[in-house]
Each structure stands twice: as structure tokens, then as C-alpha cells.
């Protein structure tokens, strides 16, 4: 008979913990479950996984299996070493009593343990399915919202390709990349296992004039040269409504004015940063050009003096 490397079958190291073995078994069993898998060798692989897990999850069986050592390779001809079976006592030297019937396990397994520990049952897909229970897989999808919805919170209706629909309430203050967990809304479980979770990854659509920096909201505020030079109070938009912003006299382009707490809400609310941008009026009439000529004569200003 062929030696079976149960560690290799489950894709774990020989020093793997019981939790690692269980995690890999569930992942692979979900992949090769005969009721859902489209793999050509799904049923055979599913049986191999079940057999490997039956041995490695049990500390006594695993210990007895490990006594064989790591020198065997999968597929090599194998015979149990002398004395492994004790006919007089009717069980292996590992102390495992044979169960009635083969239970669908391989000759290799039965040569070591005298039976599978599962009662005799028809070798059918329904039997294999009952031998495995797993939580359904988690799913993830992107959910795009507006910046206003991120600020205020929103209710969204989601519709999936399988016809399923969900009404979701988004909390105020959602940020790009944030994951919102909807418990039990993922893939259904198998063998009586509970459904997985659905994770919504928040994406915020570009805005016409606001930008986000974490929880801070950035706004470029156009001002005239005289407003920047003399100072002015200007009405500016925020996500919570319009407010009056005082632009100090002598402000230049790029100056940042902070509106405390006007960003996205949260444990520590963000601010709104108003960035002054000076816009020069066009010289598209003779009168406008005359004003600029007079300014050039009367205002001794050289913005490039520091470059000399």
C-alpha cells in the first residue's frame, strides 16, 4: 500500500498546532466539498482531507502516526513496522480499538488504526457531506457613497447578482477604506455550519470642491486680490452648511484657515481646512488694463526680489 503524508495532504508543517490544522482543514474541505466543488477530483480529495484530519486532530492518533517518522514519502510502498499491530489485544500499539467496518478510510489508515472511528455507512456524497461542518466563507464588496453621506450617515440598498438584497445603515463619519461588518450575510455554511460575514469596504466618490485628508475636509477658497490684501469675511460651504470665514488682511495663496470640528464626525472629529487661493481678474477690457497699469506705477511691489 502507499504511505500517506497527512501533513502534506492538509498543507501544514509537522509542528503545526491543532488550531492551524483545523483552520487548513476547514479551508480545503470547503474548497473540495462534493456538493459545491467543481474540481474534477473533489470527492477523492475531500475523503483524503477527512482521513488526514481524523488522525492529526487527535493527539493520540497523531502521536502514533508520528512514531513512523518523517522518512516516508507520499506514494512510497508502506508496511507497518513489526509489532505495530497486536492481534491478541485487537488494537494497535497506539491503543486504538478498531471501529466496525471501514467507514470509507484507506487501507493505509486501517493498517495503522484498525478502522476509521466512523460507523459503517454507504459511500455516498450525502455521507461525506454529513462528516463535515464549516462556517460559510466571508465575502467582501465595495460600497461607494458621497461625501455628504459619509458626513451625515445614510441608508443604502444593496442588490447582489444572486437576487439577494440588503438594506444597510451606514454610520456618520465613514472613511475611505473602512470595512463595515454585516454578521451572517456572507456565504451560507455547510453541514449545518453558520453563514459567513459580509464586509463592505467604503469608497467615497470624488466631490466637486471638497477633498479628504483622513477625517479633515479640504476646501480651496477663491478670493480676490483686494480681499486677500485688505481682509474680508467670506461665506464658504462646509458639509454641515454655509459659514462665514474671516480672511485676515495680507493673506497669500496657500494660507490655511482651520474650521474646528467641521470635518468628518468620529471619536475625534476632523476639521475643515480652508485654503486661500487668490484669483486675479482678467484684463479683458481697456478699463481693466488701465487699472493694472496704474497699479504697476503706484504699487512698488516685486514678488521676485528674493530670487536676486
For residue 124, what is the domain's CATH number? 1.10.287.110
Q: What is the pLDDT of residue 199?
A: 93
- In-domain check, residue 15: yes
Q: Are residues 69 and 124 in the same domain?
A: yes
- In-domain check, residue 157: yes
Q: Are residues 11 and 113 in the same domain?
A: yes
Which domain-ending residue is among 204, 220, 246?
204
Q: Are residues 197 and 264 in the same domain?
A: no
Residues 42-60 pLDDT 10s = 888 888 898 899 889 988 8
Residues 79-97 pLDDT 10s = 555 555 544 333 444 444 3
- In-domain check, residue 126: yes
pLDDT at 216 over 90: yes
Q: What is the pLDDT of residue 150?
A: 96
Q: Are residues 176 and 217 in the same domain?
A: no
Please indicate whether residue 223 or residue 139 has the higher confidence score (pLDDT): 223
The answer to whether 127 and 118 are in contact (CB under 8 A) is no
Domain that holds residue 53: 6-130
Give the residue-averaged pLDDT of 18-44. Answer: 86
Please indicate whether residue 71 or residue 145 has the higher confidence score (pLDDT): 145
> What single-letter DSSP state applies at residue 243?
E
Q: What is the pLDDT of residue 137?
A: 79
Which domain-ending residue is among 71, 98, 130?
130
Which domain-ending residue is among 147, 177, 204?
204
pLDDT at 128 over 90: no
Q: What is the pLDDT of residue 191?
A: 65
| Cα separation, 40 vs 50, whole angstroms | 18
Q: Are residues 189 and 161 in the same domain?
A: yes
Q: What is the pLDDT of residue 176?
A: 94
Q: What is the pLDDT of residue 303?
A: 87
Q: Are residues 81 and 117 in the same domain?
A: yes
- In-domain check, residue 153: yes
pLDDT at 121 over 80: no
- In-domain check, residue 79: yes
- Count of structural domains within the chain: 3
Mean pLDDT of the chain: 82
Q: Are residues 15 and 74 in the same domain?
A: yes
| Cα separation, 174 vs 204, whole angstroms | 9
Q: Are residues 71 and 165 in the same domain?
A: no
Closest CA to 295 of 251, 241, 229: 229
* Lowest mean pLDDT segment, chosen from 40-54, 102-116, 261-275: 102-116
Q: Are residues 222 and 178 in the same domain?
A: no
* Lowest mean pLDDT segment, chosen from 45-49, 65-69, 204-208: 65-69
Q: What is the pLDDT of residue 126?
A: 39
Give the residue-averaged pLDDT of 176-198. Answer: 85
- In-domain check, residue 64: yes
C-alpha cell read off for 6: 497527512
Q: What is the pLDDT of residue 103?
A: 47
- Alpha carbon dihedral 25, 30, 31, 36, in 10-degree steps, equals 150
Q: Exposed (0-12), middle (13-18) or buried (19+): which is 222, by Cβ within 10 Å?
A: exposed
| Cα separation, 182 vs 86, whole angstroms | 55
Amino acid at each position: 500500500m502507499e504511505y500517506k503524508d497527512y501533513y502534506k495532504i492538509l498543507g501544514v508543517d509537522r509542528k503545526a498546532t491543532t488550531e492551524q490544522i483545523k483552520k487548513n482543514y476547514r479551508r480545503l474541505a470547503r474548497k473540495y466539498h462534493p456538493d459545491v466543488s467543481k474540481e474534477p477530483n473533489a470527492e477523492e480529495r475531500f475523503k483524503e482531507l477527512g482521513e488526514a484530519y481524523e488522525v492529526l486532530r487527535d493527539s493520540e492518533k497523531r502521536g502514533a502516526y508520528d512514531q513512523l517518522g518523517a522518512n516516508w514519502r507520499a506514494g512510497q510502498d508502506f508496511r507497518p513496522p513489526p509489532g505495530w499491530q497486536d492481534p491478541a489485544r485487537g488494537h494497535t500499539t497506539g491503543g486504538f480499538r478498531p471501529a466496525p467496518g471501514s467507514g470509507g478510510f484507506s487501507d493505509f489508515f486501517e493498517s495503522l488504526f484498525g478502522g476509521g472511528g466512523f460507523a459503517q455507512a454507504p459511500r455516498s456524497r450525502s455521507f461525506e457531506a454529513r462528516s463535515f461542518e464549516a462556517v460559510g466563507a466571508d465575502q467582501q464588496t465595495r460600497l461607494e457613497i458621497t461625501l455628504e453621506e459619509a458626513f451625515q450617515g445614510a441608508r443604502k440598498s444593496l442588490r447582489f447578482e444572486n437576487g439577494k438584497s440588503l438594506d444597510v445603515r451606514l454610520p456618520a463619519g465613514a472613511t475611505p477604506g473602512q470595512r463595515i461588518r454585516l454578521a451572517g450575510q456572507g456565504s451560507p455554511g455547510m453541514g449545518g455550519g453558520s453563514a459567513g460575514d459580509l464586509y463592505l469596504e467604503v469608497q467615497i466618490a470624488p466631490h466637486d470642491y471638497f477633498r479628504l485628508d483622513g477625517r479633515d475636509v479640504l476646501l480651496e477658497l477663491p478670493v480676490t486680490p483686494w480681499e486677500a490684501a485688505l481682509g474680508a469675511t467670506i461665506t464658504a460651504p462646509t458639509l454641515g452648511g454655509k459659514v462665514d470665514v474671516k480672511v485676515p488682511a495680507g493673506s497669500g495663496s496657500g494660507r490655511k484657515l482651520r474650521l474646528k470640528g467641521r470635518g468628518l464626525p468620529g471619536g475625534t472629529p476632523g476639521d475643515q481646512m480652508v485654503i486661500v487661493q487668490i484669483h486675479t481678474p482678467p484684463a479683458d477690457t481697456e478699463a481693466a488694463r488701465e487699472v493694472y497699469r496704474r497699479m504697476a506705477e503706484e504699487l512698488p511691489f516685486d514678488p521676485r526680489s528674493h530670487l536676486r
